[in-house]
């Protein structure tokens, strides 16, 4: 994948927040990493032709369309980025895979578990690469956390606490949107909690059993044209999990947490120390080692730098920091590794289905009021 002759042709469906992130990543991956061919930005799809042409020009795509089916069938497109609302993921991803395309689909897989299974089966049958947009696992600092645990820096880990909080749904005056409709899924549990779940799964493997309680801070929201509509999803969830080795985990998520902007906080406690991390300070991690004189024990703050690859591909000096979109560029490079048949760090549809199993087991737990096995 180092010459123009094997550059991938890219199709992008959706140009909102995550669509722009994908476009930036496709545009930057060659410049940042240097060891891949520059992707050909072939075709962009939006809800109407005018918007599609406008975004294609802004994002650097050669052509535009309002027909996503034409995009997935286009012979110049080798890989399809899907950044539409959750309920559209299954149909689009399955169609793209059946058309012989690789797929980069934003999380979660689908609101219904049966649709997520169908996506996984389509990926299996196609022989193509299909990954999900869990870019937080690409943070060089998070990768270092995994190495510290594997190297025994905190001894035997026995408990993890994770929190994810944002306030984009904190204002009760905000109008009803697709994120409050049942067609989008459960709410914070699958649209939101899947991000920290991807981190927890990466560190400790598949969950064995789960207990969950969900809640709504607001029972209804105003409609743009007047009146109100009942909120059909839950914006908060508290989850308890058990992992192999009797590792205990707790996960608290809230989409209506005033003052929190992009927080994923992890605390990992082990027999010889602990690790503390907060995504709002994504370029640092704190390590505590229970060793040496008691009067000199304390947390060591570690700043991201070239010693934490692939940070070095972006910036040659430590402490300067990467951002959200940089993680998307790293994720894009990992996708290209998989397409080339190389080892990579990514959440495939196969692995993503295990996250979905945990989500749906948690939803069953909320309904039954008890622990549920993840099956």
Fold classification of 4-135 is Rossmann fold (3.40.50)
Cα–Cα distance for residue pair 185/208, rounded to 1 Å:
22
Cα separation, 50 vs 71, in Å, equals 16
Tens digit of pLDDT for each residue in 6-51? 799 999 999 999 999 999 999 999 999 999 999 999 999 999 999 9
* Number of C-beta neighbours around residue 14 at 10 A: 23
Percent of the chain with pLDDT over 70: 99
Task: Give the separation between CA 159 and CA 165, rounded to whole angstroms.
Answer: 20
Helix (H, G, I), strand (E, B) or coil at 34: coil
* Per-residue burial over 194-227, b = 16 or more CB atoms within 10 Å of its CB, e = otherwise: bbbbbbbbbbbeebbbbbbebebebeebeeeeee
pLDDT confidence tier of residue 191, bands split at 50, 70 and 90: confident
Q: What is the pLDDT of residue 296?
A: 87
Q: Using a pLDDT cut of 90, give the percent of the chain over it.
A: 94
Strand stretches in 136-235, DSSP E: 157-165, 209-215, 220-222, 228-230
Round to whole Å and give the CA distance between 163 and 278. Answer: 9
Q: Is the pLDDT reported for residue 4 higher than 90?
A: no
Q: How high does pLDDT run on average in the chain?
A: 96
According to CATH, the topology of domain 137-323+347-373 is Dihydrodipicolinate Reductase; domain 2 (3.30.360)
- For residue 1, what pLDDT band results from cuts at 50, 70 and 90? very low
Q: What are phi and psi of 247, to 5 degrees?
A: -75, 130
Closest C-alpha among 52, 255, 80, 276 to residue 162: 276
Query: According to the model, what pLDDT value does residue 240 have?
Result: 98
Res. 82: pLDDT tops 70: yes
Flag whether pLDDT at 235 surpasses 70.
yes
Residue 16, Cα to own-chain centre: how many angstroms? Answer: 16
Per DSSP, the chain holds a count of helices (H) and strands (E) of 9, 18
CB 237 within 8 A of CB 362: yes
Backbone angles phi, psi at 196, to 5 degrees: -65, -30
Same fold: 4-135 with 137-323+347-373: no
Token pair 């991390």 in the structure block, residue: 277
Q: pLDDT of 255-279, one tens digit each? A: 999 999 999 999 999 999 999 999 9
Beta pairing class for 347-348 and 157-165: unpaired
Distances (CA, A) of 278 to 47, 116, 155: 36, 30, 21
CB 212 within 8 A of CB 251: no
CA–CA dist 325, 28 (Å, integer): 10
Inter-CA distances, 276 with 100, 239, 242, 288, Å: 43, 19, 20, 8
**pLDDT at position 204:** 94
First to last CA, the chain: 39
Domain boundaries, the chain: 4-135, 137-323+347-373
| 284, 264 Cβ separation under 8 angstroms | no
Q: What is the pLDDT of residues 117-172, one digit of tens each?
A: 999 999 999 999 999 999 999 999 999 999 999 999 999 999 999 999 999 999 99
pLDDT band at 3 (very low <50, low <70, confident <90, very high): very low
**Three-class SS state of 288:** strand
State how far the Cα of 76 lies from the Cα of 23, in Å rounded to an integer: 17
Q: Are 28 and 329 in contact (CB under 8 A)?
A: yes
Copy the structure tokens of residue 283.
């370029």
Res. 217 pLDDT band, cuts 50 70 90: very high
For the residues 335-358, what does the mean pLDDT come to? 97
The runs of H, that is alpha helices, within the chain are 17-33, 49-59, 68-73, 89-98, 113-126, 140-150, 194-204, 324-339, 349-368
Residue 300 has pLDDT above 60, yes or no: yes
């Amino acid at each position: 994948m180092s010459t123009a002759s094997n550059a991938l042709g890219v199709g992008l469906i959706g140009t909102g927040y995550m669509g722009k992130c994908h476009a930036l990543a496709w545009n930057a991956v060659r410049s940042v990493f240097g060891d891949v061919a520059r992707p050909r930005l072939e075709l962009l799809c939006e809800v109407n032709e005018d918007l599609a042409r406008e975004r294609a020009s802004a994002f650097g795509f050669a052509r535009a369309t309002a027909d996503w089916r034409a995009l997935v069938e286009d012979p110049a497109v080798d890989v399809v980025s899907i950044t539409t609302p959750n309920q559209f993921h299954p149909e689009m991803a399955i169609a793209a895979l059946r058309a012989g395309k690789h797929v980069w689909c934003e999380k979660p897989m689908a609101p219904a578990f049966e649709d997520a299974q169908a996506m996984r089966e389509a990926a299996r049958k196609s022989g193509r690469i299909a990954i999900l947009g869990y870019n937080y696992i690409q943070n060089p600092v998070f990768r270092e956390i995994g190495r510290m645990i594997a190297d025994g820096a905190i001894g035997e880990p026995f408990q993890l606490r994770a929190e994810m909080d944002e306030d984009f749904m904190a204002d009760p005056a905000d109008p009803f949107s697709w994120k409050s409709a049942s067609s989008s899924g459960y709410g914070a549990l699958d649209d939101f909690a899947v991000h920290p779940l991807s981190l927890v799964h990466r560190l400790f493997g598949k969950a064995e059993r789960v207990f969950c309680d969900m809640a709504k801070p607001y029972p209804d929201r105003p409609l743009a044209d007047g009146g109100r509509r009942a909120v059909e999803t839950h914006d908060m969830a508290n989850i308890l999990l058990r992992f192999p080795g009797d590792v205990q985990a707790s996960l608290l998520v809230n989409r209506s947490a005033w003052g929190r902007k992009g927080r994923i906080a992890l605390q990992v406690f082990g027999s010889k120390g602990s690790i503390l991390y907060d995504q709002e300070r994504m370029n640092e991690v704190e390590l505590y080692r229970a060793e040496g004189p008691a009067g000199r024990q304390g947390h060591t703050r570690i700043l991201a730098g070239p010693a934490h690859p692939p940070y070095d591909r972006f910036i040659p000096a430590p402490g300067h920091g990467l951002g959200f979109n940089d993680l998307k560029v790293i994720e894009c490079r990992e996708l290209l590794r998989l397409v080339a048949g190389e080892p990579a760090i990514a959440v495939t549809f196969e692995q993503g289905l295990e996250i979905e199993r945990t989500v749906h087991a948690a939803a069953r737990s909320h309904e039954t009021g008890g622990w549920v096995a993840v099956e």
